[in-house]
Amino acid sequence: MAKALGNGQPIDGAATAVLSDLERRRDGLHARARQQLGFTGTEGTPPLRKTLREHNTSWYPVLALGGLAIVDQFQTYVFTVLTPDIARSLGLSIAAIAGMRTLQALAHAVSPLPMAALTQNRAWRAALCIITAFGWSLITAGTGLVVNLWGLGIVLVTDGLLVGSAVALHRPLIMDIYPPPARVRLLAIREAFERSTSIVAPLLVTLGASVLGLTWRGVFLILGIVSIIGALFALGLRDPGYGKWDTEQIRRTVRESHHAHADQLSSQAVQLGFFEITRRLLLVPTVRRLAVGYLVFGILVIPYTTFLSFFLDERWGMDAGERGVFFGFTAAVGVVALLLYGPRGEAIFRQNPGGVLDVVGIALIAAVVCIVVAAVMPWFVAMVVFFSAAQALIGVLAPLLGIAQLSVVEAAWRPHAAALIGIYMASGSLLGVFLLSGVEERYGIAGAMISLLIPGVIGALIIRSAKDLVAADLDRLIDEIVEDEEVCHLTSSGAGVPMLACRGVNFSYGQLQVLFDVDFTVDDGEMIALLGTNGAGKSTLLKVVSGIGLPTTGTVRYRGQNVTYLDAERRVRLGISQIPGGRAVFGPMNVVENLRAFGYTLGRSPKVVDQAIERSFETFPRLHERRHSLAATLSGGEQQMLGLSKALILKPRLLLIDELSLGLAPVIVGQLLELVREINRRGTAVVLVEQSVNVALSVAHHAYFMEKGQIRFDGPSADLLARGDLLRAVFLEGATKGAAL
């Protein structure tokens, strides 16, 4: 089957035909997968009870997680209400309290990532949620035993470390337990439970302080016991595994289209490690853009509520019981707003996934405006009304931001995405502490409240700007899953796929885009010439293949496996090696040390490495003569010999050579090219990047030509010489005279 290139020239090849057919099938299954995930393009939303019954799911998981969400926040919210009393009892200033809350925020920022790492590819999320719930219950009770600033810091930091489970695991669990048509509403319900802490905890403070006459220490002890009861209620929680209702559903769709069973698809995608997943998530445009939204949201959670407590104490003279009633009332308004808006948010998300961010942007601006108005309001009732309105608007932010971010990532990566959410929010809390503390020192508590207007408006505008990214990232996720399953089917059925296939690769250095929708394939044992002028993107493409650079979009598949975001060192172990032009050796190390470093890359034993070094010396006697010389003192040709020895030692399946002939005499180039031919004859596929056409075409029969980051030619090397529109006379100087090497 022929493939039409960007210049209209067709080329033949079974591998290309396989990839073209794969793309057609992927496009055909895309719409069906989108429908199965509930993105219908319409606002119709079935009743929640009916949805749960149809999918044979119960209310217990969301109730259990909701209960954990309530007790998780006990320590934080009760501390917020009682902050003035604690400060007076321990003789601490506002700055000291804010400093301890900053340490808690730092612990909170760090804690979600270990939780995500512990549950990576393991169904331990429910168990970890329960274990940490008992831990923070003890911390809540232990807060009442604090006698000084350092003891306060210990309990706050420990609490911050433990609550990472709620941040990283609760929302991903809901996404996996419940089907897509119910997720926004159930996330809203779980969020309503969390917000209910602002009702339950302050009211318990009021009950304990005003009715029972307990001190702040007694209140913490009682709440610790209540927290343990909540943890006991969640003991029946179970982890269903990753992607039951979305990614696995898409994979089943692909398998059904082939009338195949899952056990026939033995080929699995390469699993990313923890830091590879985290790095991959930060390359998703929606995730990056919403980071700013979570920064602002973090300011509106901990620092804002802390300073609000002092505002009520200083401006309105409210004691602990009265502040408890205030926080309970405003939180109740927020919970009601959240529950009422849940179905509407679900409908908007089903119609247009990015539409929820429009709502978030508007709600955020309205919330900070209400806070500013409340801060300057001279009438008590009006002040309560505006703070309540702000709480109601803030309440709808979390589930909508969460569904927008978690829906565009692989199911197994959602704990990591949720952990990033927690980090951004905690970072926002830190920024909020510094912002509000600085403003409060100069302009008072009311001035600190008013200062929230600037970051709130900026954050809202940035969040709204991400609305067009959600749908594109969701489509990309679906396409990647479908393509993975299609490749699994092709390899399991014995169909030939290219050893290396780069599809639609885009790459940028910051704001400068270098590669544009590059398609590039290499078959087993093939010798490829990658040609182009300086700045065409040749070396950048090699970086993407070897893992030194990560593409902004597109995929890199190696032997049927998606390696797009694998670290470079892992690709070396898979059989991909690169010899960079002019930088192929470690200058401060001698020749033997360089060769030994190549061998140890694969963790080989010293004996095996020594044998490989001897083979290199047999191939390059000149290196043996200079084996104790520093690599930096070698000539250009000797350094290239040393670089090529990497291929002799590692024996890769795919060897990438960048500018082999750079600055070398023709006789040396001829010797090196003969070695390249020998490496290729031994079964290693070679991609040779060159500016010199006569050098490249002397060894390669298949050529790619790049210009301005795009593939302009893909075909037999001999045909490239006839393309005068691509190869300029200055670039072709000497090439048409034939390859004499």
Give me the average pLDDT of each 10-residue run along the chain (741 residues).
Answer: 36 53 62 65 74 87 88 75 79 75 76 84 86 86 82 83 83 88 86 78 72 79 86 90 75 57 40 85 89 78 76 85 81 84 83 87 91 91 92 84 86 85 79 80 84 86 89 84 73 71 89 91 89 85 91 87 87 86 76 81 72 81 82 80 80 86 73 84 87 76 87 83 60 44 43
- Distance separating alpha carbons of residues 621 and 452, to the nearest angstrom: 71
Phi, psi of 270 (to 5 degrees): -65, 130
Rounded Cα–Cα distance for residues 407 and 418 (Å): 11
pLDDT of residue 4: 37
b/e sequence 373-403, b meaning 16+ C-beta within 10 Å: bbbebeeeeebbbbbbbbbbbbbbbbbbbbb
Dmax over CA atoms of the chain, in Å, equals 100
148's tokens: 């000084």
pLDDT at 493: 62
Question: Quick one: pLDDT at residue 25?
Answer: 62
Which pLDDT does position 545 carry in this prediction? Answer: 93
State the amino acid at position 472 in one-letter form: A
CA distances from 567 to 275, 279, 398, 419, 500 (A): 9, 10, 33, 21, 16
The whole-angstrom separation of Cα 564 and Cα 547 is: 7
pLDDT at 257: 57
Q: Are 148 and 57 a contacting pair, CB within 8 Å?
A: no
Residues 710/512, Cβ–Cβ less than 8 Å = no
pLDDT digits (tens, 9 = 90+) for 46-59: 788 888 888 888 89
pLDDT at 396: 83
Residue 548's contacts (CB-CB under 8 Å, 6 or more residues apart) are 568, 578
Q: 92-99 long-range CB contacts below 8 Å, 24 or more apart? A: 92/149, 92/152, 94/310, 94/437, 94/440, 95/437, 96/149, 97/306, 98/303, 98/306, 98/433, 98/437
Based on its alpha-carbon atoms, the radius of gyration of the chain, rounded to whole angstroms, reads 31
What are the DSSP E strand ranges found in 233-366? none
- d(CA 678, CA 674) in angstroms, rounded, equals 6
**Degrees to nearest 5, angle at CA 472 with 468 and 475:** 150
pLDDT value of position 261 = 40
Identify any residues that bridge with 716 across adjacent strands, giving them in sequence order. Answer: 702
What's the one-letter identity of residue 174?
I
Neighbouring C-alpha atoms within 13 Å toward the C-beta of 299: 27
Question: What type of residue sits at position 124?
Answer: W
Q: How far apart are CA 732 and CA 123, in angstroms?
A: 59
Interval 504-533: pLDDT, tens: 899 998 888 999 999 999 988 899 989 887
Tell me: the pLDDT tens digits for 677-731? 888 888 889 998 877 777 777 788 888 988 889 998 888 877 777 776 666 533 5
Structural domains in the chain, sorted by start: 37-251+280-465 (1.20.1250.20), 500-737 (3.40.50.300)
- φ, ψ (nearest 5 deg) of residue 196: -65, -20
Helix (H, G, I), strand (E, B) or coil at 642: helix
User: What is the rounded CA–CA span in Å between residue 13 and residue 2?
Assistant: 7
Please tell me the distance from the alpha carbon of residue 703 to that of residue 714, in angstroms, as a whole number. 6
**Residue 223: its pLDDT value, please?**
82
pLDDT the model gives residue 19: 57
Beta bridge mates, 630: 590
Residue with tokens 């707003």: 337
pTM: predicted TM-score of the whole model, two decimal places: 0.73
Cα 206–chain centre separation: 42
Answer yes or no: are the C-beta atoms of 220 and 144 closer than 8 Å: yes
pLDDT tens figures, 287-301? 988 888 788 777 776
Token digits of residue 405: 């971010």
Alpha-carbon gap, residue 158 to 75, rounded angstroms = 11
- What is the pLDDT at residue 373? 93
With H, G, I as helix, E, B as strand and everything else as coil, classify residue 562: strand
